[in-house]
């Protein structure tokens, strides 16, 4: 294998990532009334200290109504900035780039947490229930047993778009360097994109371009607040198995690129349950074909995510030109030091330079002095002989 691309730095606008390993956004269900806690600092911090080039903090909600469940992070008020800034500073101090995803759950808001079953929440114990309204592109629920959301009126849409812009301003003030707009997984922006959920007959519904309009205007508004020096990513459900697919995603990416979007973060599903399996069975790298398609046909950088588990697997995706960045979620829950481990397996960073010196010293010493010891994670990957 040639020199590993996974550990080649990459520059996007004025931001340089030291490697191509990205921590995918992951809800922590741990905020208190939207405010970041010590948990968020520890969690983002361990991934930064584990050697990832970019840590994208979870879907952080642009308004109260957008919270998916109890414990979502918020960014709908300036009061949230200091708590987020604390995480940003820690990530940066450990030589990683701080990123954040902005989100709004729309009709999928106000639910029990996944391990509680994920059903619609009940008002018990929620002191601001009346403010936690379900809104969407249309008054359509799915499944039919779910509460019906209220369709945003034509007049409310500009205010909603401005909330994304204000959230971007706050993310910048908190010091984040990368922004990822959540337009996937059946949440609010996706509810405008997909004909399955968008039944509007004004200029935000109907034709494909009309359904894209909300997303496009969110990007335009975000870009007015998010500095030109900083990268902007958008996460798509490239295939939702409900009328929105790769052709539409390519068309939208082509519109968004000249408006300042740098990377399409290629996911899938969420409109009618997830994940979708159009790409084939859900197995290693099942969404990589989407990242490959967007990169090739929309001529835009892409980020692959979804069951990327092994270092050699990640490296092969990059070597084959199927994506520019590799994002991991659950494997990092299993091993927050995955980037350090991958660097060993791919034969770079023998001195463990990607982790804090106080750890690198001891790890390098062990590697040099105790030749018969291999780390516990050192099992075979996808293509290791």
Ligand X SMILES: Cc1cc2nc3c(=O)[nH]c(=O)nc-3n(C[C@H](O)[C@H](O)[C@H](O)COP(=O)(O)O)c2cc1C
Among 43, 96, 137, 267, binds ligand X (CB under 6 A): 267
User: Which residue is associated with the tokens 């082509």?
Assistant: 254
User: Are the CB atoms for 147 and 134 separated by under 8 Å?
Assistant: yes
User: Are the CB atoms for 276 and 305 separated by under 8 Å?
Assistant: no
Residue 273 or 347 with smaller CB distance to ligand X: 273
Among 199, 255, 282, 307, binds ligand X (CB under 6 A): 307
**According to the binding rule CB under 6 A, does residue 105 interact with ligand X?**
no
User: Among candidates 338, 356, 357, which has minimal Cα distance to 346?
Assistant: 338
Among 18, 20, 27, 293, binds ligand X (CB under 6 A): 27
**According to the binding rule CB under 6 A, does residue 26 interact with ligand X?**
yes
Which of positions 209-238 make contact with ligand X (CB under 6 A)? 235
Least CB distance from residue 17 to ligand X, whole Å?
17
**According to the binding rule CB under 6 A, does residue 182 interact with ligand X?**
yes
Taking the alpha carbons at both ends of the chain, their separation in whole angstroms is 12
Least CB distance from residue 251 to ligand X, whole Å?
21
**According to the binding rule CB under 6 A, does residue 59 interact with ligand X?**
yes
Instruction: Kindly write out the interface string for residues 316-355 of this chain, putting x where it contacts ligand X by CB under 6 A and - elsewhere.
Output: ------------xxxx------------------------
Which of positions 107-166 make contact with ligand X (CB under 6 A)? none
User: Are the CB atoms for 28 and 58 separated by under 8 Å?
Assistant: yes
Burial code of 244-266, b = ≥16 C-beta within 10 A, e = fewer?
bbbebbbebbeebbeebbbbbbb
**According to the binding rule CB under 6 A, does residue 292 interact with ligand X?**
no
**According to the binding rule CB under 6 A, does residue 101 interact with ligand X?**
yes
371 burial type by CB count under 10 A (0-12 exposed, 13-18 middle, 19+ buried): exposed
Only segment of 132-140, 182-190, 249-257, 347-355 that touches ligand X (CB under 6 A):
182-190
Measure the CA–CA gap between 204 and 247, rounded to whole angstroms. Answer: 19
Least CB distance from residue 380 to ligand X, whole Å?
19
Least CB distance from residue 366 to ligand X, whole Å?
29
User: Are the CB atoms for 120 and 110 separated by under 8 Å?
Assistant: yes
Instruction: Kindly write out the interface string for residues 39-58 of this chain, putting x where it contacts ligand X by CB under 6 A and - elsewhere.
Output: -------------------x
Residue 174 or 328 with smaller CB distance to ligand X: 328
Least CB distance from residue 26 to ligand X, whole Å?
4
Size of the site for ligand X (CB under 6 A): 20
Beta strands 10-12; 15-17: pairing state: antiparallel
Residue 26 or 250 with smaller CB distance to ligand X: 26
Measure the CA–CA gap between 9 and 18, rounded to whole angstroms. Answer: 4
Only segment of 82-90, 132-140, 251-259, 302-310 that touches ligand X (CB under 6 A):
302-310
**According to the binding rule CB under 6 A, does residue 239 interact with ligand X?**
no
User: Are the CB atoms for 75 and 62 separated by under 8 Å?
Assistant: yes
Measure the CA–CA gap between 342 and 315, rounded to whole angstroms. Answer: 9
Catalytic residues: 187
CB atoms within 10 A of CB 283: 10
Measure the CA–CA gap between 305 and 301, rounded to whole angstroms. Answer: 13
Binding site for ligand X (CB under 6 A): 24-27, 58-59, 101, 182, 184-185, 235, 267, 305-308, 328-331
């Amino acid at each position: 294998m040639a020199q590993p691309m996974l550990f080649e730095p990459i520059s996007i606008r004025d931001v340089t990532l030291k490697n191509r390993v990205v921590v995918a956004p992951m809800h922590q269900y741990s905020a208190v009334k939207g405010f970041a806690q010590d948990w968020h600092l520890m969690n983002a911090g361990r991934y930064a200290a584990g050697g990832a080039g970019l840590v994208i903090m979870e879907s952080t909600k642009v308004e109260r109504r957008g919270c998916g469940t109890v414990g979502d992070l918020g960014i709908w008020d300036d009061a949230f900035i200091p708590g987020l800034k604390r995480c940003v500073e820690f990530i940066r101090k450990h030589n990683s780039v701080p990123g954040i995803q902005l989100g709004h759950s729309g009709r999928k808001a106000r639910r029990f947490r996944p391990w509680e079953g994920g059903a619609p929440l009940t008002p018990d114990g929620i002191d601001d229930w009346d403010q936690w309204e379900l809104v969407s592109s249309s008054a359509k629920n799915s499944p039919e047993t779910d509460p019906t959301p209220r369709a945003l009126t034509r007049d409310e849409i500009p205010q909603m778009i401005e909330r994304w812009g204000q959230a971007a301003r706050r993310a910048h003030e908190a010091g984040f360097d990368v922004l990822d707009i959540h337009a996937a997984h059946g949440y609010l922006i996706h509810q405008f994109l997909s004909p399955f959920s968008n039944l509007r007959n004004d200029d935000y519904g109907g034709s494909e371009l009309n359904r894209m309009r909300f997303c496009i205007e969110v990007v335009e508004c975000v870009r007015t607040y998010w500095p030109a020096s900083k990268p902007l990513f958008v996460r798509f459900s490239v295939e939702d198995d409900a009328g929105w697919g790769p052709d539409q995603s390519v068309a939208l990416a082509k519109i968004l690129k000249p408006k300042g979007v740098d990377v399409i973060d290629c996911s899938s599903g969420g409109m009618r349950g997830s994940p979708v399996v159009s790409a084939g069975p859900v197995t290693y790298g099942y969404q990589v074909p989407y990242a490959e398609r967007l990169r090739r046909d929309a001529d835009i950088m892409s980020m692959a995510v979804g069951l990327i588990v092994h270092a050699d697997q990640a490296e092969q995706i990059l070597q084959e030109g199927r994506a520019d960045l590799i994002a991991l979620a659950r494997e990092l829950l299993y091993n927050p030091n995955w980037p350090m481990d991958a660097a060993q397996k791919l034969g770079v960073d023998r001195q463990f330079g990607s982790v804090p010196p106080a750890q690198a010293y001891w790890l390098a010493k062990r590697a040099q002095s105790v030749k018969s010891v291999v780390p516990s994670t050192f099992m075979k990957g996808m293509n290791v002989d």
